[in-house]
Chain A
Amino acid sequence: MTTILYVEDHPPAQLLMAAIVTDLTSYTLITAKTGAEAETLARTNHLEAYILDLDLPDTDGISLAERLNAIYPAVTIIVSAYAEAIHPDQKYLYLAKPLDPDHVAQILRHALTGR
């Protein structure tokens, strides 16, 4: 069973990602609201991918990505509603809000089976 962690503090966005993952993929999604919560989950679960919102209450998606990958390296996708803040690099995948469910599912499948 492949588990993905989604870190996002906005409940409707959490609900949407849960729906996308449940409806369109065969993966399991667990969610966290803050960076601290995410780090705890990353230590206690075997995670295959991190989807991180750029704008979090206690940290930002990029520095959280660094910390989570230090705990356990996995596919990392940064999601942002600040399209202008996205500077694509080689390290992580980037997605802009509003998310397209099919596109998200496709990216997840591609990233997780391509490993």
Chain B
Amino acid sequence: MWRRFFDTLLPDAENLLPAAVQQAAGARIQQYWIAHGWQLVLGEAILWAAAGAQGLEPTWGYGLLTGMVATMYALGCLQGRTTLWLHASVFLLLTHGMLVNSLGAVTALTFIVPYTIGGMLLSGRRRMVAQTACLIAFWGSLIYGVLPVLGQLRPPNYIVISYDILLAVFTFQFSRFLSQLAVEINSEYVTTEIRGQSQQFLARVSHELRTPLNSILGFAKLLNRPQGTLDERQQAYLHQIIDEGEHLNQLVSDLLDSARLATGKLVLQQDGCDVNALCTSIAEEQQPAVGMAVKLTAQCASNLPLIQADRVRLRQAVANLVANAVKYTERGEITIMTRRDGDFVEIAIRDTGVGIAEAQQALVFLPFVQLNQRQMGVGLGLDIALQLVRLHGGDILLTSQPRQGSTFTIRMPIQRIG
């Protein structure tokens, strides 16, 4: 029981924050101290002047207090000297409390600030030293500052009370900032951790899923040779295996792309890209997937300039939009149109499909959202397309009328912006 009691009094040597997070927190604390610490210095200087004007003894004592706080402020402004500042603060605050009777209780309170900062910024032995010093200083100033006063109980003068108020207000402000900072650091740290972990997890999952897919698809394709001995029904079964296997493979790739886009890990390999050639080949490629009652065409503007883009990724974005149009269009036309608009090249994919109500138009680009639950897929196609286009410095616009059809327009800058 005693051990547990002392454990609660003594700080931990462990600090779970990684060095980079500590450094960021240190910079924020320093910024705060530079922006607000001068108020404390100014407040003490005014009170020193007031004590002098009143002929309060000892006036030099008040001057010394101001000098100490000013030293703390100056030390805090020094780049990268957090530990020095912390230890100096503890020492100066302690002396501060000893100089003026009845300042002890409030001074004790002020040690919350270096105690918390020490906990955030230091690790191991240094953390233990800083926090232990704060605790000793806390009890020291409380006992030294409060107990003698209890015996004497001199009538307090307003200068001393003003000191108390100044220190207390500053301490509460600083503590409020620190607790806010702790929450921010924590959530930022957790977010980056989760991002890293999920990235690793997805890489592993994709590897584990692709390994059996390699065998399934590879052997199925080897069986599916023209000179094979399979009858028609067996061929049909085999096609099912291959189609579903390809579909599964696409899902794995989409999940990975989505995760890499979300974590900023996807890097573009930009080059001069012929948008017309890209759109024509996509129209040809998607032809087999289009229903009998749908006509898929590409209408290309002549004299379109080459644009700076990652060919593979832009192709993926356009193909996703076309595949989406194919999915939701039962009859009529799907047209891929290209044109130049100032510094942009536009690729519009217009369909005569089900269309999207205005209220739902903002939802379609969200990951894992599907407006029609009966459709296949996980709802990543449009999200990936939008993220890829935005990564190029472009955007996708949507105009749609329910039951009339939709037009998705990709606007790509001809030269990469920024």
Contacts and interface: CB of A to CB of B under 8 A. Distances in A.
Interface of A: 10, 12-13, 15-16, 19-20, 23-24, 55, 81-85, 97-102
17 contacts: A10-B211, A13-B214, A16-B215, A16-B222, A20-B222, A23-B222, A24-B222, A55-B207, A81-B206, A81-B207, A83-B206, A83-B210, A84-B256, A85-B203, A98-B213, A99-B218, A100-B217
B221 interface: yes
Given A16-B215, A83-B210, A83-B256, 6 more contacts: A19-B222, A55-B207, A81-B210, A83-B206, A97-B213, A101-B222
Contact of B221 (A55, A97, A101): A101
Contacts of A101: 218, 221-222
Contact of A82 (B207, B216, B222): B207
Contact of A20 (B218, B245, B256): B218
A82 B200 CA distance: 11
A98 B203 contact: no
Secondary structure of the B contact surface, majority rule: helix
A16 B216 CA distance: 9
B249 interface: yes
Interface residues on B, range: 20 to 34
Secondary structure of the A contact surface, majority rule: helix
Contacts of B207: 55, 81-82
Nearest to B199: A84
B361 interface: no
A98 B217 contact: yes
Contacts of A13: 211, 214-215
Most chain A CB within a 10 A radius of its CB, from B206, B213, B218: B218
B206 A16 contact: no
A39 B214 CA distance: 26
A98 B218 contact: yes
B256 A97 contact: no
Interface in B1-28: none
Most chain B CB within a 10 A radius of its CB, from A13, A16, A55: A16
A20 B249 CA distance: 20
A97 B221 CA distance: 14
A99 B214 contact: yes
Contacts of B215: 12-13, 15-16
Given A12-B215, A13-B215, A16-B219, A98 B249 contact: yes
A15 B222 CA distance: 12
Contacts of A16: 214-215, 218-219, 222
A66 B133 CA distance: 57
Contacts of A100: 217-218, 221
B287 interface: no
Nearest to A12: B215
A104 to B, nearest CB: 9
Contacts of A10: 211
Interface in B193-210: 203, 206-207, 210
A81 B211 CA distance: 6
Contact of B219 (A19, A55, A83, A102): A19
B322 to A, nearest CB: 22
Most chain A CB within a 10 A radius of its CB, from B203, B215, B217, B265: B215
Nearest to B217: A98
Most chain B CB within a 10 A radius of its CB, from A24, A97, A98, A99: A98
B312 to A, nearest CB: 11
Contacts of B260: 84
In the complex, the 7 A-B pairs of residues with the closest C-beta atoms, listed nearest first: A81-B210, A12-B215, A98-B214, A97-B214, A16-B218, A98-B217, A98-B213
A78 B206 CA distance: 18
